[in-house]
C-alpha cells in the first residue's frame, strides 16, 4: 500500500485528518533548506561520483566496458548465480552435521584469469585485465562463493598471480576465514598459476612440493601432504587422524591432437612424482585426491590413463555414471574460446589398492593409444597401419628404425613436445614382447587390440574381508556427493547468462571408510 496517499473525510466529519507533509510543503520551508537541496546535495553527489570513477578507472574506460558487458555483469557478475545457493545442503561443517557422519569437501575451479578473458569477440586483444572494475567485481563474487561453500580443500586454476591486488584479496579473504593458502606461478612469467587453500579447522599441512613440467606449455602442479586435525571416528571405539595427498594442476590445452602426448606426459610426471614421494617418505595405504582442469574429456587418453592407475572420477561415482561413451556427454564443465563445451574438470580419488597396474605399463598402453588414434585419424585400418609402420622393411615385421620414422611422421617425435628418445625406446621394448629386435604382426595386433581398462582386483574392501589373509588396515574415502554449478551443466547445457568463469565449479563431499588391504610395499 502507498503510504503517501491521504483520504479526504466526508464533509460532515468533525475531525480533520493530519495530512503528511509533501515535497511541495518542504519547498515552502525557509531558504536554508532550499539552498541545501539545490546546492549542497548535488555537490555531495558529485564528490561521490568522482571518487567512484577514480577508483574504478577513467570515464572512457567505463563507457568502453558498458559496450561489452551488461549491467548485471558489472553489478552481480552473474545473474544466474544469484538465484539460489547451489551447495547449501552440503557445505563443509553444515554437511557433516546434517549427514550425521564425519566428512570433508573439496572444490576445484578454473577461475579464468583476467589476462585470458576476452571482452570482445571481434577484437580478441581486448581483455578483462585492462579494466579493473570488471575483474575486481567478478573475483570478489568468486571469493564470496568460496567463502560461503567453505570447502575443506580449495584448488583454483588460472589464478592471476601476476596481479598483487588480486593475490592480496584472495589471500587476505581466505586467510581471515581460516585457510592456509599456497600459490604457484607457471614458469616463464605466464602471469597465471595455481592457488590451493587448506582449511586449518580440518587439516594441517605436513609437507608440500612444487612440480615443474618444464615443457613448452609452462605447466606446473602442487602436491600437499595433509593430516586431519580432528580424528575421524570410524566406529564407536576407534578414531584415526587421516593423512591425504592432494594434487592441484592445470594441463596443457590441446590446440591439436598431436599435443595429447604432452598432456599424457604431464600426468605421467605427476604419478611418477607421487610414487617417488611416497617411497622416499615410506608412505603407503594413503588416499590420493587429484584436482584440476585436465583439458580432456572422459573419452580422452588422460582419463583412461588415470582410470588404469586406479583413480575414479568423484562426480561420475556420485551420479553412477560409467566410463562408456553413452555417459561421456551427460555433463560438461567448460566452454572454451572456440565455443565448444566439454567436461574437463575432475576431482579424482584413489583409495589404497592391493595391486595396481605398473605405471610404466599403463604409460606404454596410453602412448600406444595415442599412436593408434593418430593412425586412425588418417584412415589407416589395422592392416594398413601395420604396413605404414613396417614401411620398406624386408619381411613381415617392423624394425626399430621404421618404428621411429613412423612416429616422426605422425608428429609424436622430432618436436620439442614429442616423445623423448628414452620414451620411444621404452615403447619399443613394450612392443617387442619376445625381445628379438623386431615387431611381427602378432605383436603389433596385441598393441592394436589392447584394452585400456582391464579389470584390476581391488584388494581393499570393507571390514568383512576374508579371514586368514595377511592384511593392513587403512582409511579410504567414499564419495557422498558431487555437484557442478551452474546446475545446467549437469545436463550437458552451458547457460548463456553464466559469466563467473568459462568453467563450472565442482565440489565433492567424501566420508572416511575403514578398509582392509593385503599388505604391500611401495
**35-46 residue pLDDT tens:** 555 555 555 655
Residues 195 and 163 sit within 8 Å (Cβ to Cβ): no
H runs (alpha helix) in 69-206: 71-75, 94-99, 132-149, 164-176
Is the pLDDT at 79 greater than 50? The verdict is: no
pLDDT band at 231 (very low <50, low <70, confident <90, very high): confident
With DSSP H G I counted as helix, E B as strand and the rest as coil, what are the percentages for the chain, rounded to 5? 35, 20, 40
Stretch 192-215: mean pLDDT, rounded?
96
Mean pLDDT taken over the chain? 80
Sort 202 into a burial class: Cβ within 10 Å, 0-12 / 13-18 / 19+. buried
The sheet that has 179-185: what strands, in order across it? 179-185, 193-199, 153-159, 104-110, 505-518, 471-485
For residue 202, what is the DSSP state?
Answer: T
Is the pLDDT at 280 greater than 60? The verdict is: yes
Is the pLDDT at 63 greater than 70? The verdict is: no
Residues 517 and 460 sit within 8 Å (Cβ to Cβ): yes
String of b and e for 158-188 (b: at least 16 CB within 10 Å)? bbbbbbeebbeebbebbeeeebbbbbbbbee
Task: Report residue 352 as a C-alpha cell.
Answer: 589404497
Give the N- to C-terminal CA distance of the chain in Å, as an integer. Answer: 75
Q: Which residues pair with 476 in a beta bridge?
A: 513
For residue 330, what is the DSSP state?
Answer: S
Residues 428 and 398 sit within 8 Å (Cβ to Cβ): no
pTM surpassing 0.85? no
Q: Read off φ and ψ for residue 247, nearest 5 degrees.
A: -125, 135
pLDDT band at 61 (very low <50, low <70, confident <90, very high): very low
106: left (phi over 0), alpha (psi -120 to 50) or beta: beta
* Residue from 256, 267, 250 nearest 415 by CA: 256
Write the CB contacts of 160 (distance below 8 Å, at least 6 apart in sequence).
113, 114, 115, 129, 135, 166, 167, 191, 192
Stretch 267-293: mean pLDDT, rounded?
93
Among 4-18, 186-200, 404-418, top mean pLDDT goes to: 186-200
Task: Report residue 272 as a C-alpha cell.
Answer: 611418477
Report which of residues 507 and 391 the model is more confident about.
507
Tens digits of residue pLDDT in 120-153 = 877 878 999 999 999 999 999 999 999 999 999 9
H or E stretch covering 431: helix 421-431
Helical axes 359-377 vs 421-431, angle rounded to 10°: 90
> Cα(489)–Cα(146) distance, rounded to whole angstroms?
19
Residues 210 and 171 sit within 8 Å (Cβ to Cβ): no
Give the CA count within 13 Å in the CB-facing half-sphere of 160. 22
% of the chain beyond a pLDDT of 70: 73
pLDDT band at 289 (very low <50, low <70, confident <90, very high): very high
Stretch 331-336: mean pLDDT, rounded?
94
Point out the least confidently predicted range of 281-295, 451-465, 502-516.
Answer: 451-465
Task: Report residue 199 as a C-alpha cell.
Answer: 582449511
Write the CB contacts of 46 (distance below 8 Å, at least 6 apart in sequence).
none
Amino acid at each position: 500500500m502507498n503510504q503517501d496517499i491521504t483520504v479526504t473525510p466526508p464533509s460532515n466529519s468533525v475531525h480533520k485528518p493530519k495530512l503528511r507533509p509533501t515535497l511541495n510543503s518542504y519547498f515552502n520551508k525557509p531558504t536554508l533548506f532550499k539552498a541545501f537541496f539545490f546546492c549542497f546535495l548535488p555537490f555531495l553527489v558529485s564528490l561521490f561520483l568522482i571518487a567512484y570513477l577514480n577508483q574504478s578507472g577513467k570515464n572512457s574506460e567505463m563507457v568502453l566496458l558498458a559496450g561489452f558487458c551488461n549491467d548485471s555483469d558489472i553489478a552481480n557478475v552473474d545473474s544466474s548465480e544469484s538465484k539460489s545457493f547451489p551447495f547449501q545442503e552440503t557445505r563443509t561443517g553444515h554437511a557433516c552435521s546434517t549427514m550425521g557422519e564425519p566428512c570433508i569437501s573439496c572444490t576445484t575451479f578454473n577461475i579464468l584469469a583476467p589476462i585470458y578473458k576476452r571482452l570482445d569477440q571481434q577484437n580478441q586483444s581486448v581483455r578483462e585485465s585492462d579494466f579493473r572494475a570488471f575483474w575486481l567485481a567478478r573475483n570478489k563474487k568468486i571469493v564470496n562463493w568460496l567463502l560461503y561453500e567453505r570447502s575443506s580443500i580449495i584448488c583454483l586454476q588460472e589464478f592471476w598471480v601476476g596481479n598483487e591486488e588480486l593475490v592480496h584479496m584472495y589471500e587476505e579473504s581466505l586467510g581471515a576465514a581460516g585457510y592456509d593458502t599456497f600459490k604457484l606461478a607457471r614458469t616463464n612469467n605466464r602471469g597465471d598459476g595455481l592457488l590451493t587453500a587448506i582449511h586449518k579447522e580440518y587439516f594441517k599441512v605436513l609437507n608440500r612440493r612444487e612440480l615443474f613440467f618444464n615443457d613448452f606449455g609452462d605447466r606446473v602442479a602442487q602436491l600437499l601432504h595433509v593430516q586431519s586435525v580432528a580424528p575421524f571416528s570410524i566406529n564407536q571405539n576407534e578414531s584415526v587422524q587421516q593423512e591425504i595427498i592432494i594434487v592441484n594442476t592445470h594441463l596443457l590445452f590441446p590446440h591439436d591432437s598431436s599435443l595429447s602426448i604432452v598432456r599424457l606426459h604431464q600426468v605421467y610426471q605427476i604419478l611418477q612424482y607421487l610414487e617417488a614421494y611416497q617411497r622416499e617418505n615410506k608412505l603407503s595405504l594413503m588416499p590420493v585426491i587429484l584436482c584440476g582442469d585436465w583439458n580432456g574429456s572422459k573419452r580422452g587418453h588422460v582419463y583412461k590413463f588415470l582410470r588404469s592407475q586406479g583413480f575414479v572420477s568423484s562426480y561420475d561415482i556420485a551420479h553412477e555414471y560409467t566410463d562408456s561413451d553413452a555417459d561421456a556427454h551427460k555433463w560438461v564443465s567448460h566452454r572454451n574460446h572456440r565455443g565448444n563445451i566439454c567436461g574437463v574438470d575432475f576431482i579424482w580419488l584413489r583409495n589404497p589398492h592391493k595391486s595396481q597396474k605398473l605405471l610404466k605399463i599403463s604409460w606404454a598402453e596410453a602412448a600406444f593409444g595415442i599412436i593408434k588414434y593418430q593412425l586412425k585419424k588418417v584412415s589407416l585400418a589395422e592392416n594398413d597401419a601395420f604396413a605404414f609402420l613396417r614401411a620398406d622393411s624386408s619381411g613381415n615385421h617392423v624394425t626399430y628404425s621404421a618404428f621411429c620414422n613412423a612416429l616422426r611422421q605422425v608428429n609424436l617425435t622430432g618436436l620439442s613436445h614429442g616423445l623423448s628418445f628414452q620414451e620411444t625406446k621404452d615403447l619399443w621394448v613394450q612392443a617387442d614382447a619376445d625381445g628379438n629386435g623386431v615387431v611381427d604382426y602378432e605383436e603389433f595386433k596385441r598393441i592394436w587390440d589392447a584394452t585400456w581398462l582391464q579389470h584390476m582386483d581391488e584388494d581393499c574392501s570393507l571390514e568383512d574381508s576374508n579371514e586368514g589373509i595377511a592384511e593392513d588396515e587403512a582409511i579410504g574415502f567414499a564419495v557422498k556427493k558431487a555437484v557442478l554449478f551452474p546446475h545446467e551443466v549437469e545436463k550437458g547445457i552451458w547457460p548463456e547468462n553464466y559469466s563467473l568463469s568459462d568453467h563450472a565449479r565442482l565440489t565433492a563431499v567424501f566420508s572416511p571408510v575403514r578398509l582392509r588391504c593385503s599388505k604391500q610395499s611401495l
